[in-house]
Structure 1
């Protein structure tokens, strides 16, 4: 069995500075990393405080980057984004602030594009079943049902 390397507080701080500099992180991810490094609670607190003071760790910045990324790259809807942020223990205030990163017109037009693209891929002769498959897909992407029905009803 491989013995895990033990870290001093300074070494662990450097590891986590790199971890946070590479990509935006939330507190939960940092705490998991500290747990993986087997740091004691006092060391964890000291390191997290250091990361916060030196702006390596910023929950609001993380939430905004997360929202922009998941919407523009993965084309997720707000519901799915909010659920993921809640899972990462992001505060309601930061979630609300981060959602402002999404332009409403862009949000609606992205949903339309996804719906049209998926519509062309669904090989279902029955219009009702086709509509149902499309709605189910869009809900799984995390879009709001009232927007989905507004768009789906114009397509089918």
Structure 2
């Protein structure tokens, strides 16, 4: 059986600096990483404090980057993004401010494009069922139901 490598506080700090520098991380991910490398709670506090002081760890910056990425790349809606941020223990203030990263016109345009792309793929002759399937898909992407129903109604 292989034993896990043990780290000094300085080694673990360097490791986590690199971990945070590679891409934006939230506190939860950093704490999990510290746990994975078997650091004691006192070391955990010291490392997190160091990362915060040297701006490797910044919850607001993480939240904004997360919102931009999930919206522009994965085309997630606001509801799904908010749920994912809550899962990562991001504060309500940071969630609210990070959602401002999404331009409202771009958001509605993205919803429209996704709906138009999905519509021909739904093999259903019954119009009601077809609308329902499209709406369910868009809601699962995290778009608000009122926007989804307006978009679906306009399309079908």
Pairwise same-fold verdict (TM > 0.5): yes
Q: Match for residue 14 of structure 1?
A: 14
Q: How does 1:41-120 map to 2 (within 5 A)?
A: 41-120=41-120
TM-score w.r.t. the length of structure 2 is 0.99
1:16-61 C-alpha deviation (Å, 9 max, x unpaired): 0000000000000000000001000000000000000000000000
Misfit runs of 4+, over 3 Å:
none
Q: How does 1:17-32 map to 2 (within 5 A)?
A: 17-32=17-32
| Partner Cα distance (2:150, 2:127) in 1 | 16
Deviation at 1:120, TM superposition (A): 1.2
1:91-126 C-alpha deviation (Å, 9 max, x unpaired): 000000100000000000000000010001111111
Structure 2 residue runs without a partner (length 5+) = none
TM-score w.r.t. the length of structure 1 is 0.99
The alignment of Structure 1 onto Structure 2 pairs a total of residues equal to: 156
